[in-house]
Structure 1
Amino acid sequence: MSRTFFVVRRRPHRTVALALAASVAMASPAVASTTGDNTEQLRRLARELVAAGAPGVIARIDDGHGHPVEIVEQAPWTRQDHLLTATDEYRMGSNTKTMVATLVLQLVAEGKLTLSDPVEKWLPGKVPNGKAITLRMLLNHTGGLFDYTEDPALRPSIVGRERQRWTSAKLLAVGVKHDPLFAPGTKWSYSNTNYAAIGAVLERATGTSLANLVRDRIARPLGLNHTYYATDSTWRGPYAHGYERDAAHMPPEVPVWFRNFAGTRRHGHVDVSGNDPGWGGAAGAMVSNAQDWARFSTALMSGKLLPAAQLAQMRATLPIDARQPDGPGYGLGIQTAATPCGTFWGHDGGIPGYLTTNITDRAGGRTASVLVSTEFWAEFETDPKLAKATQAFQSAVTCAMFGKPLV
């Protein structure tokens, strides 16, 4: 949803790769700090992020040497709802795409799918021009499909005012009723409809639900006890509460149809953590926590989840910005960018109440996760102060992951 980080978005955006690459570059990192100095700086920056308006912050950084650093800060007014901990579950938004792409590539390795399969093969008659759109195009956002999250039909679900069961097929139908953005394979443009189609293909090819596929192929084998594909608003463990501004405090830049969230009012905010994320579907309905996602990232990038050939296909990237062919890139459900501190891989996500980023190095030996428990300010670029504090914290986290803290 945000232009600073990726989410289940409805508008053009900057991805996490672009945002982090820019913010880290501007920060001019130095290498000569100790681990202790780094941890204290991270805690200070997290406190500044809360002071700038974030209801809560969770971060976990593992530089591959010693014990991971965990940072938790929250605004005092949120404590009557929940005392935030480093192990809390939270909504992952579009980080979901990395896990869904992993499922596709597992089936490719097993010979059940090929990346060159046209979507028409699996979803006959469901996608206009489906013979020309391949699974690879869906996974790397070159399919040209309109983004379903921009359709007015989704607005009541996004703000939690409507509870309906959004299946992959229903979300796909919303997206494809609009004209395509461009001819398949000719451009790159982020669209959640691509992953709605992928979700429908996975269910058709396997005869089972996305929730079961995530559970049986990734969560259980890796022992991810807090990772699941959400099919309703239910949480399975202690969770971070997510908040958005209430209607009276919503910035004027936010359109009227996104100004009135369902949920309990608190300190000029609405607690949106009880709202159903099902409208995110295969594009954004995952729930996890920082520890689980680090284990997933390590398993993925080290080759535990995918054979070498499929991992190489995932890492085959296209430029996010055609004007920067050597700049940040997008592969199959994964992003990458070079920074002065190192080249990271990962994704980000945003769904009301939850702005998340998960990154790792190429081998999966280093991992980092960040949650900021409010998101619409980034979606609509309404809070420069919060944006600046978030970028400063993200920059420090990125460099700390590579053992190169900012000073």
Structure 2
Amino acid sequence: MSPREPSSDRAVRSRLLRSLTASALAVGLAAATAPPASATPQAARAGAGTQRAQLLRLARNLVDAGAPGVIVRVDDGAGRPVEIAEQAAWTRRDHPLQAGDEFRMGSNTKPMIATLVLQLAAEGRLALGDPVEKWLPGQVPGGEAITLRMLLNHTSGLFDYTEDPAIRPSILGKDRRRWTQAELLALGVKHDPLFAPGTRWSYSNTGYAAIGAVLEKVTGARLADLVRDRIARPLRLHHTYYPVGSAWRGPYARGYEPDADHMPAEVPAGFRDFAGPRHHGHVDVSGNDLAWGGAAGAVVSTTQDWSRFYTALMSGKLLPAAQLAQLRTTVPVDAEHPDGPGYGLGIQTGTGPCGTFWGHDGGVPGYLTTTLTDRAGGRTATVLIATEFWAEFEADPKIAEAAHALQNAVTCTMFGKPVPAAQAG
């Protein structure tokens, strides 16, 4: 299929492993009521119990709207973090959901992969301006003009491999092959590029497949080992890892999608039938292998671990100042709105009434995650929703409305500001 052909299936595939935070969440925040400027730290502390109760209610509303499970963790940097786990009654036979459970991070993998590249840049082992041809000769057509920086900030113009029909059986859990970075890269570059390198922005998981291949070439190590040795072990992230199979290492949140008979009508026929155990109109997809996510989306973590990662990253513990500045150097997501949401190196940013946030999100079958932090890493937040195709296909307005309400409230709580009145009522 040509990348320029209009197709509803192509539009859907383009959102898999795609990042939505800076565009979608910033829009939601723009509609929120700004908190009073006169709020004092004492008043904020006094309202902490109220805020937790509001977040708990909004999480419960999301479950009542149809989400099988929800995990929330918010740390405003001023006290004890708020942790919430809510689940539908029918899911308890599979696993009693806990706030510390492991889950698939999807495209939240990208900030971690970008951090590995920047660490190697700081060590002089590669440079952001290196053409991809230098490290992967002959593997990327036009690779002489595509730099590592372009791969990281999605300005390479490479077609997104998740849009190729060959990946669909893996997405549905029916093909359990162990995709390599080189195979994922080859899947994307067999299509014509979308535009000349560096001239536009377009989210491309193929760019991160290329980055994964470069990391393995430069270091001679597997991505799983790089994540473990350079990030997880130094930060004592005991439940964060790049999986080498479908097995989990600790207690984990089950992820679900509706079965074929209960899938919303908006979902095309080719995306309606997942592999996995079935009950209560759903398929448990948490045992399906995410090798197809590769460097673009395969990492597993927890809310606590990810908070620690973001704090270390944004405070400079993982990167020298020069590389951290590169991470935060953004390009506009929408060329028509250059002052709007921006994308840096594996991380994006947006501004709402409650503050300017940095972060990412990720969507893979069964798991939709949003992770946020402030510029210094002193405040962090994560929301996990244990189902994802409603977002891919805009197929469930009821879940979408409840999810936006929770995400907006979580963001303002992270900044230590009152939950907007529109969400608190």
* TM-score band, normalised by shorter chain: over 0.9
Query: Which one-letter code corresponds to 1:380 in the other structure?
Result: F
Paired position in structure 1 for 2:240: 227
Match for residue 255 of structure 1?
268
Q: CA deviation at 1:214?
A: 0.1
Amino acid across the alignment from 2:24: A
Contact 2:19/2:360 (CA < 8 Å) preserved in 1? no
Q: Flag as ranges the 4+ runs of structure 1 deviating above 3 A.
A: 11-14
Q: Does 1:133 align with 2:154?
A: no
Counterpart code for 1:388: E
Unaligned runs of 5+ in 1: 1-7
1:27 to 27, 32, 54: 32
Q: Name the CA distance, whole Å, in 1 between partners of 2:382 and 2:19.
A: 19
Aligned residue for 1:57?
Answer: 70
Q: Which residue of 2 aligns with 1:296?
A: 309
Aligned residue for 2:330?
317
**Superposition deviation, residue 232 in structure 1:** 1.4
Q: Distance in 2 between matches of 1:195 and 1:104?
A: 11
In 2, are the aligned partners of 1:92 and 1:356 still within 8 Å (CA)? yes
Rounded to whole Å, the distance in 1 between the matches of 2:393 and 2:158 is 22
Alignment of 1:125-164 (within 5 A): 125-164=138-177
Measure how far apart 1:11 and its partner are.
Answer: 3.9
Alignment of 1:348-367 (within 5 A): 348-367=361-380
1:94 equivalent in structure 2 = 107
- The number of residues matched between the two structures is 400
Q: Distance in 1 between matches of 2:244 and 2:267?
A: 28
Contact 2:19 2:362 in 1 (8 A): no
How has the CA–CA distance of structure 1 residues 9 and 91 changed in structure 2, closer, same or farther, with 3 Å as cutoff? farther
Shift of 1:29: 3.9
* 1:14 CA drift (Å): 7.0
| Other-structure match for 2:7 | none
The 2-side partners of 1:48 and 1:338 are apart by: 26
Residue equivalent to 1:16: 21
The match for 2:298 is 285
Counterpart CA distance in 2 for 1:269 and 1:316 is 42
Give the Cα separation in 2 of the matches to 1:115 and 1:141.
13
Residues 334 and 341 in structure 2, CA contact (< 8 A), matched pair in contact too: yes
Q: Tell me the SS of whatever aligns to 2:93.
A: coil
Q: Where do 1:93-242 residues align within 5 Å?
A: 93-242=106-255
Structure 2 length as normaliser, TM-score?
A: 0.93
| Distance in 2 separating the partners of 1:61 and 1:173 | 39
Instruction: State whether residues 10 and 149 of structure 1, in contact with CA within 8 Å, keep that contact through their aligned partners in structure 2.
Output: yes
Give the superposition deviation at 1:9. 5.5
What root-mean-square deviation, in Å, do the aligned CA atoms of Structure 1 and Structure 2 show? 1.2
My pick for the range that moved more, 254-263 or 104-113, is 254-263
CA contact (8 A) 1:320 1:330 kept: yes
Structure-2 separation of matches of 1:42 and 1:29: 18
Q: Counterpart of 2:199 in structure 1: which amino acid?
A: T
When residues 14 and 109 of structure 1 are mapped into structure 2, their CA distance, relative to the original with a 3 A threshold, is closer
Share of identical aligned residues, percent? 73
